[in-house]
Chain A
């Protein structure tokens, strides 16, 4: 069964995300990979600190801007408990560093370059994410 969804905003929002990546690459030669940008700030400040902070500030301002424009905040529904979110955050932080990227760096930017590494990474994290959700919702969920 497929839930009701709206392809228009999804495609338009996706195009904006792609545009963000293109702007950063064409103008300044940088990859818009969020995990890499965040991790770059955990190092000693260098000449890349300024643009990284500015990018994240812009990213943070996106939700308030869209809220003001639409007149209502976008839905943000979090079902997981705090301990699960803490575990998930640890895995996401560690895994994206070990695997050199996340949904933005490997997904949006890497797939746009047809990078074999990024294609392999995207297929891998999609597979383990689907496996995890399936386990949580349909396997563990049915026994407890």
Chain B
């Protein structure tokens, strides 16, 4: 059931990206180019998405646990730190170079374009580099010692 639900959520997400034009790097780059021929599409897409997601937050706050059980797996509340800002800054540079971020990149795989495949392979490599170069989080000390890869 949880797997079917996740697939349905992914499908909604992919359809939303495809319908809104966000699978097209040229449109995304148009939004990121306010000093050129500016394309406001992304602002409407993000606005629509955040409005619905905000309603979801209001519903979630009235619930004790998810409909299918378990618990709400929300990111722990942490301060804004240098890792967050530098990571976001690095991501933004990559996003601006290609016009692709992880969602549209994955959604575009089915088209089989070489550029998308190269981007996704490099993105996986970048994630892997982060994992092997980052010390296990200080949060759960002894639990992570000796766990290589």
Contact = CB atoms under 8 A, between A and B. Distances in A.
Interface of A: 1-3, 5-7, 9-32, 34-35, 38-39, 42-44, 50-52, 54-67, 73-80, 82, 84-100, 102-104, 106-117, 120-122, 124-134, 136-138
Given A13-B16, A65-B14, A90-B94, A60 B106 contact: yes
A61 B109 CA distance: 10
B111 A92 contact: no
Contacts of A87: 94, 97, 122
Given A79-B29, A96-B87, A90 B110 contact: no
A32 B107 CA distance: 14
B56 A22 contact: yes
Contacts of A62: 10-18, 107
A53 to B, nearest CB: 8
A127 to B, nearest CB: 7
Interface in B21-57: 21-27, 29-30, 32-42, 44-57
A38 B16 contact: no
Given A59-B103, A90-B94, A27 B66 contact: yes
Contacts of A5: 39-41, 44
Contact of A50 (B3, B8, B26, B134): B3
A12 B20 contact: yes
A112 B24 contact: no
Contact of A34 (B48, B89, B90, B103): B103
A31 B88 CA distance: 18
B139 to A, nearest CB: 13
